[in-house]
């Protein structure tokens, strides 16, 4: 409903509208769909939504507890992705209920829905590409094994032998402090991470290793430069102890003066 | 109508009547001159709020992505760390936030139907829920954990940690729930202002932009918790 004062000063707006075929004070018809923002939810609807939300909370807690009970009583270990999928599906349904009805997006202009969906799209890109990257590093590194030197990731998965012939991460059993079997396994990349931690714990060993590494790289670099260097010209002085470098050519007694 | 109020312009159609009017505040509430009606003002406010909410979602998106990455790298640390959280407190806080969301939605309905008494009651219940949430969070979750050494990052000193990377879990736990708790406090502050204004008669049928916008923020805080709760408390 438009404000009565807004109908304009001249005459009856209805007759004017009928005469012209459009409302001269609202030629684009902005006021025709004005009521969309003012949907009044019924109390029954609100209570039903709250009851659904509470029931779904109970369901998600219950399913998580059921997984523990099944694992402990029956000895059946449900894969983790099942638990995650159930919990995230229930959370998504709950979020949709809150957004659509408590936040009234269902009754709102479609523009607000588009704003939210675009935001969720960017969130999807963010988490999607990050997951693709993180989830596939093992495979990428085994494929590139030997071409890399340990770098920014702290050497995760970069060492030779971290993967078996099927390019799966090699897992070794973890032993406890007294050498007992803990029943857990870990990836070679985690061993590498551990090894690096131990190695930096001993500064002397670390320095030796780093010095050796730097020297080896330097040598390789110099070799490469030597190979690339053009053939020495006869005028080039390669012997740094040659008196030609420091003494003038006619310095007979070699005291630096003519 | 003084010319100061209208910026030197002649009075417009939407200017409020003289201040001594006995009409309730929501009936003589003006809207800005660049809008045709209250409805346009309301819609514009809502679009602005939704745009702001997208930035909030993207703030938490960073935390959710950090969660995903660290959980991929250190699944054992996350499983062990999650076992230290008490599902009962988490579930209770979820229920409290859901009820507070319901009361906010109901208070908008009260404003639309000019039920001024119920409006104040529902907003007050929401604030009580926010207070309960914060009390549970600090008294039963943060304080005991911190005292036991289950702290984030370099402050981690829990002697019985089963995984060498458990401090990463605690860093993520405190960051995620801490930023969420900060949002609860901000939302409660905004709703407190809304409650004060409701006592001055600011809100009524078609004049409830303030509650609507504060309510959207509060519901977003609820939605974030809906995702944080299973991710933090229900993984094994």
Residues B52-99 pLDDT 10s: 999 999 999 999 999 999 988 888 888 888 989 999 999 999 999 999
Contact criterion met (CB < 8 Å) for A3 and B13: yes
For every residue of chain A, which 3-state class applies, written as one string?
A: CCCHHHHCCCCCHHHHHHHHCCCCCCCCCCCCCHHHHCCCCCHHHHHHHHHHHHHHHHHHHHHHHHHHHHHHHHCCCCCHHHHHHHHHHHHHHHHHHHHHHHCCHHHCCHHHHHHHHHHHHHHHHHHHHHHHHHHHHHHHHHHCCCCCCCCCCCCCCCCCCCECCCCCECEEEEECCCCCEEEEEEEHHHHHHHHHHHHHHCHHHHHHHHHHHHHHHHHHHHHHHHHHCCCCCCCCCCCCCCHHHHCCCCCCCCCCCC
Decide: A35 and B206 in contact? Cβ < 8 Å.
no
Tokens for B51, please give them: 């745009």
Residue at B227 is within a domain: yes
CB-CB neighbours of A83 under 10 Å = 19
Contact A87 B53 (CB under 8 A): no
CB proximity A176 to B under 8 Å: no
B235 contact A CB<8A: yes
* Chain B residue with the nearest C-alpha to that of A182: B162
| Predicted pLDDT of residue A26 | 67
Number of domains in chain B: 1
Contact in structure between B125 and B103 (CB atoms under 8 Å): yes
What residues of chain A lie within 8 A of the CB of B103, using their CB? none
Tell me, yes or no, if A70 comes closer than 8 A to chain B by beta carbon.
Answer: no
The three-class DSSP label of residue B95 is: helix
Q: Looking at the complex, does the CB of residue A195 fall below 8 Å from at least one CB of chain B?
A: no
User: Which of A23-32, B18-27, B67-76 has the highest average model confidence (pLDDT)?
Assistant: B67-76
As a whole number of angstroms, the distance between CA A196 and CA A206 comes to: 9
Q: Which two tokens stand for residue B56?
A: 């909030």
Are the Cβ atoms of A64 and B40 closer than 8 angstroms? no
Distance from CA of A229 to the nearest CA of B (A): 46
User: Which pLDDT score is estimated for A195?
Assistant: 39
What's the pLDDT score for residue A158?
42
Position of tokens 């009820």?
Answer: B99
Lowest-pLDDT range, A174-183, B34-43, B74-83, B164-173? A174-183
Comparing A108-117, A219-228, A243-252, B126-135, the range with the smallest average pLDDT is A243-252
Residue B32: inside a domain: no
Instruction: Kindly state the DSSP code that residue B12 receives in the 8-state scheme.
Output: P
Average pLDDT over residues A64-72: 85
Comparing alpha-carbon positions, the chain B residue that sits nearest to A95 is B223
Q: In the prediction, which pLDDT does A9 show?
A: 46
Question: Residue B162 sits in a domain of what CATH number?
Answer: 1.20.120.80
Mean pLDDT across A26-50: 74
Cα distance from A131 to chain B (closest Cα, Å)?
7
Is there a contact between B126 and B100 (Cβ–Cβ < 8 Å)?
yes
Chain A hits for B38, CB-CB cut-off 8 Å, are 3
The confidence score (pLDDT) of residue A53 equals 97
Q: Please tell me if residue B101 touches chain A, with a CB cutoff of 8 Å.
A: yes
Q: Is the pLDDT of residue B117 over 90?
A: yes
The pLDDT assigned to A62 comes to: 93
Domain residues for B150? 56-233
**Backbone φ, ψ for residue A149 (5° rounding):** -110, 150
pLDDT of residue B47: 94
Q: What average pLDDT does the segment A138-159 reach?
A: 47
Hey, which residues 1-40 in chain B have their CB within 8 Å of chain A?
13-14, 36-40
For residue range A162-191, what is the model confidence (pLDDT) as tens digits? Answer: 566 665 666 766 666 666 666 667 665 555
In a domain, B36, yes or no: no
CB A193 within 8 A of CB A154: yes
Of B87, B206, B215, the CB nearest to A61: B87
Interface touch A57/B99, C-beta < 8 Å: no
Is B124 domain-assigned? yes
* Of the candidate ranges A34-48, A178-192, B143-157, B176-190, the one whose mean pLDDT is the lowest: A178-192
Q: Which residues pair with B156 in a beta bridge?
A: none
Per-residue confidence at B166, pLDDT binned at 50, 70, 90?
confident
- Across residues B152-174, what is the average pLDDT? 87
Across the interface, which of B39, B57, B227 has its CB nearest the CB of A37? B39
Query: Residue A171: what are its φ and ψ, rounded to 5°?
Result: -115, 135
d(CA B35, CA A30): 11
Q: Enumerate the residues of chain B whose CB falls inside 8 A of the CB of residue A93.
A: none
The residue that leads in pLDDT, B149 or A55, is: A55
Asked if residues A52 and B101 have their Cβ atoms less than 8 Å apart, the reply is no
Q: Is A138 on the interface with B (CB under 8 A)?
A: no
Chain A: nearest CA to B147, how far in angstroms? 27
First-to-last alpha carbon distance for chain B, in angstroms, is 67
Closest Cα in chain A to B114: A40
- Kindly report the three-state secondary structure assignment for every residue of A75-107: CCCCCHHHHHHHHHHHHHHHHHHHHHHHCCHHH
| Six token digits for residue A220 | 């390789």
**Nearest-angstrom CA–CA distance, B208 and B42:** 8
In the prediction, which pLDDT does A258 show? 53
* Chain A contact present for B69, CB below 8 A: yes
Instruction: Label residue A151 by pLDDT band (50, 70, 90).
Output: very low
Confidence of residue B136 (pLDDT cuts 50, 70, 90): very high
Place of tokens 């050494």: B149
The predicted-structure confidence for A7-21, as pLDDT tens digits, reads as follows 444 445 556 677 777
A 10 A CB-CB count for A54 gives 16
Q: What is the mean pLDDT of residues A36-55?
A: 88
Average the pLDDT over A108-114 and give the result.
91
Q: Report chain A residues whose CB lies below 8 A from the CB of B72.
A: 131, 134-135
> Is B8 inside any structural domain?
no
Report residue A233's pLDDT band, with 50, 70 and 90 as the boundaries.
Answer: low
CA distance A37 to chain B (A): 7
Across residues B195-212, what is the average pLDDT?
90
* The pLDDT of residue A5: 44
Distance (Å, rounded) from C-alpha A153 to C-alpha A170?
Answer: 19
Rounded alpha-carbon distances, angstroms, from residue B61 to A163, B57, B68, B161: 33, 6, 10, 28
The answer to whether A40 contacts B43, with C-beta atoms less than 8 Å apart, is no
Q: Which of B71, B59, B103 is nearest to B219 (CA)?
A: B103
**Shortest Cα distance from A34 to chain B (angstroms)?**
6
Number of CB atoms found within 10 A of residue B132's CB = 16
Supply the pLDDT for residue B221: 96
Within an 8 Å CB–CB cutoff, is residue A79 touching chain B? Answer: no
- Give the pLDDT mean for B152-178: 88
- Smallest Cα distance from A93 to chain B, Å: 10
The whole-number average pLDDT for the span B136-150 is 92
The percentage of chain A sitting over the pLDDT mark of 90, rounded to a whole number, equals 24
Summary count for chain B: helices (H), strands (E): 7, 0
Tell me what pLDDT residue A83 has: 86
What SS3 state is found at B149? coil
For the segment A129-147, the average pLDDT, to the nearest whole number, is: 68
Q: How far apart are CA B217 and CA A37, in angstroms?
A: 17
| CB atoms B106 and A31 under 8 Å | no
């Amino acid at each position: 409903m438009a404000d009565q004062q807004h109908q304009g000063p001249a005459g009856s707006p209805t007759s004017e509208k009928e005469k012209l075929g459009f409302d001269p004070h609202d030629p684009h018809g902005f006021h025709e769909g004005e009521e969309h923002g003012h949907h009044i939810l019924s109390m029954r609807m609100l209570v039903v939504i709250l009851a659904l939300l509470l029931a779904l909370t109970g369901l998600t807690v219950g399913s998580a507890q059921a997984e523990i009970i099944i694992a402990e009583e029956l000895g059946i270990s449900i894969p983790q992705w099942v638990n995650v999928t159930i919990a995230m599906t229930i959370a998504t349904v709950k979020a949709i209920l809150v957004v659509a009805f408590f936040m009234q997006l269902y009754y709102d202009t479609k523009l607000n829905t588009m704003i939210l969906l675009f935001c969720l799209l960017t969130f999807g890109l963010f988490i999607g590409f990050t997951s693709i990257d993180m989830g596939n590093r093992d495979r990428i590194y085994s494929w590139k094994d030997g071409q890399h030197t340990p770098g920014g990731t702290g050497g995760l998965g970069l060492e030779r032998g971290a993967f078996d012939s099927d390019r799966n991460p090699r897992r070794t059993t973890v032993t406890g402090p007294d050498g007992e079997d803990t029943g857990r396994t870990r990836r070679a990349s985690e061993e590498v991470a551990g090894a690096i931690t131990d190695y930096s714990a001993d500064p002397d060993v670390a320095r030796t290793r780093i010095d050796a590494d730097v020297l080896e790289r330097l040598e390789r670099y110099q070799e490469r430069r030597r190979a690339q260097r053009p053939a020495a010209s006869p005028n080039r002085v390669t012997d740094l102890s040659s008196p030609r470098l420091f003494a003038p050519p006619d310095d007979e007694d070699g005291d630096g003066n003519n | 109508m003084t010319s100061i109020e209208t910026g030197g312009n002649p009075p417009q159609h939407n200017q409020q009547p003289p201040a001594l009017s006995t009409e309730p505040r929501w009936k003589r509430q003006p809207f800005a001159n660049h809008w045709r009606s209250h409805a346009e003002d309301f819609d514009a406010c809502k679009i602005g709020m939704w745009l702001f909410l997208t930035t909030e979602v993207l703030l938490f998106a960073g935390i959710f992505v950090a969660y995903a990455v660290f959980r991929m790298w250190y699944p054992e640390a996350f499983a062990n760390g999650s076992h230290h959280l008490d599902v009962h407190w988490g579930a209770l806080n979820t229920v409290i936030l859901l009820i507070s969301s319901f009361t906010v939605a109901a208070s908008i309905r009260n404003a639309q139907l000019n039920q001024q008494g119920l409006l104040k009651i529902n907003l007050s219940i929401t604030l009580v829920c926010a207070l309960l949430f914060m009390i549970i969070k600090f008294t039963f979750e943060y304080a005991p954990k911190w005292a036991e050494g289950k702290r984030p990052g370099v402050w981690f000193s829990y002697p019985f940690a089963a995984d060498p990377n458990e401090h990463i879990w605690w860093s993520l736990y405190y960051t995620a729930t801490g930023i969420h708790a900060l949002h609860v406090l901000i939302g409660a502050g905004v709703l407190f202002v809304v409650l004060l204004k409701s006592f001055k008669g600011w809100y009524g049928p078609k004049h409830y932009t303030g509650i609507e916008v504060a309510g959207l923020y509060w519901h977003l805080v609820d939605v974030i918790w809906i995702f944080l709760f299973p991710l933090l408390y229900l993984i094994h």
